[in-house]
Amino acid sequence: MLDVNDIHVTYGRLRALKGVSLSVKEGEIVCLIGPNGAGKSTTLASIAGGVTPHRGTISLEGKPLAGVGPEGIARLGVSLVPEGRHVFGALTVAENLRVATYMRKDRSAIAADYDRVLALFPRLQERIGSPGGRLSGGEQQMLVIARALLTKPRLLLVDEPSLGLAPKIVDQVYDILLAARKMEGLTLLINEQSSHRILKHADRIYVIRGGHIQLHDTAANLQDGEAIKRAYFGFGEEAAIDEEDAA
Ligand SMILES: Nc1ncnc2c1ncn2[C@@H]1O[C@H](COP(=O)(O)OP(=O)(O)OP(=O)(O)O)[C@@H](O)[C@H]1O
Ligand SMILES: [Mg+2]
């Protein structure tokens, strides 16, 4: 479904991505894991069209996304849930959700989608009239995911949904993502800083560090966490990478 091939991204003189390649097949949950500053958000932003790689290609179902732009990419069925849980604090949960559907042209289908998506989020239903700013971190995370689902994506990109949430809440968020995959036929690419709770949910894992993919394999092959740890911290590889950076 998604093919990212050797993309390079710079911010001014900083090389954030130095040749990132990854692929996501229809129906998969793929997780991109890496430490602070590894290039996770830049990778998702590149796919969603918010950042333009100066080298490499990204294609969706074989169709190159270069020049399509963020709105066009969204129309092709790609939705990004950015890091930071940006909800409209003064708007109610219901109003926050309604904002997501303004772009849609199929007005008649919206009511049914609204009911179906909300059914995945009993906690949001309970808080439907509360201002977004009053929600807990976990509820806000659910709200931004619900909002993204209302745009009817086929590929959902989720940037660090676990950040700062208690383990129990993280599991709830993942349960919802898994249920959404099943119900909506979603494909998921998820960024996380830690593989801790992700290994049991993902089909495949990529580890990124320093703008490079260090490792990728099925979650089943990585269950013991040792290979991930080595790739994440780069034991024994620092010298080689520093040399390449200097070149
Ligand atoms: N808008 C920007 N302008 C300049 N540098 C940026 C910008 N966004 C990211 N960077 C830099 O690019 C590199 C990759 O950042 P990115 O946000 O993609 O990493 P990340 O893996 O998402 O990190 P985190 O876990 O902290 O969210 C970092 O060195 C970061 O400081
Ligand atoms: Mg990030």
Residue 195 has a pLDDT of 82
Give CA torsion, residues 176, 120, 149, 145, to 10 deg. -50
Q: How far apart are CA 140 and CA 191, in angstroms?
A: 17
* Cβ of residue 42 lying under 6 Å from some atom of ligand 1: yes
Alpha helices in the chain, H assignment, sequence order: 40-48, 69-75, 93-99, 107-119, 122-126, 137-149, 167-184, 226-233, 238-246
* Cβ of residue 34 lying under 6 Å from some atom of ligand 1: yes
**Atom 28 (ligand 1): residue with closest C-alpha?**
37
Residue 36 has a pLDDT of 93
* Cβ of residue 210 lying under 6 Å from some atom of ligand 1: no
Residue 239 has a pLDDT of 44
* Cβ of residue 5 lying under 6 Å from some atom of ligand 1: no
Q: What is the Cβ-side half-sphere exposure of residue 92, based on CA atoms within 13 angstroms?
A: 9
* Cβ of residue 39 lying under 6 Å from some atom of ligand 1: yes
Question: Which atom of ligand 1 is closest in space to residue 208's alpha carbon?
Answer: 21
Q: Tell how strand 14-24 and strand 63-64 pair up.
A: unpaired
Q: Top-level CATH class of 2-83+152-246?
A: alpha beta
Residue 237 has a pLDDT of 54
- Residue ranges with CB less than 5 Å from ion ligand 2: 40-41
Q: Which residues pair with 63 in a beta bridge?
A: 60
Residue 17 has a pLDDT of 97
Question: Which atom of ligand 1 is closest in space to residue 38's alpha carbon?
Answer: 21
Question: Which atom of ligand 1 is closest in space to residue 83's alpha carbon?
Answer: 27
Residue 243 has a pLDDT of 44
Q: How far apart are CA 67 and CA 53, in angstroms?
A: 11
* Cβ of residue 41 lying under 6 Å from some atom of ligand 1: yes
Pocket probe mutation, ligand 1, options 22, 40, 163, max atoms within 8 Å of Cβ? 40
Q: How far apart are CA 186 and CA 206, in angstroms?
A: 19
Q: Residue ranges of the chain with pLDDT lower than 70?
A: 236-247
Residue 136 has a pLDDT of 93
**Atom 4 (ligand 1): residue with closest C-alpha?**
11
> Which distant-in-sequence residues (6+ apart) come within 8 Å of 15 by Cβ?
8, 9, 211, 245
Look at the alpha carbons of 232, 238, 244, 247 in this order and tell me if their dihedral is positive or negative.
positive
Q: Residue 23 burial by CB count (10 A; 0-12/13-18/19+): exposed, middle or buried?
A: middle
Laid out side by side, the sheet with 212-218 consists of 78-81, 155-159, 187-192, 29-33, 204-209, 212-218
CA of residue 169 to ligand 2 center, whole Å: 20
Give whole-number Cα distances, 88 to 72, 101, 109, 152, 177, in Å: 24, 15, 24, 20, 22
Side chain identity at 65, as an amino acid letter?
Answer: L
- Closest-lying ligand to the alpha carbon of 159? 2
Residue 113 has a pLDDT of 85
pTM: 0.91
Question: Which atom of ligand 1 is closest in space to residue 42's alpha carbon?
Answer: 18
Residue 37 has a pLDDT of 94
Q: Is 234 helix (H, G, I), strand (E, B) or coil?
A: coil
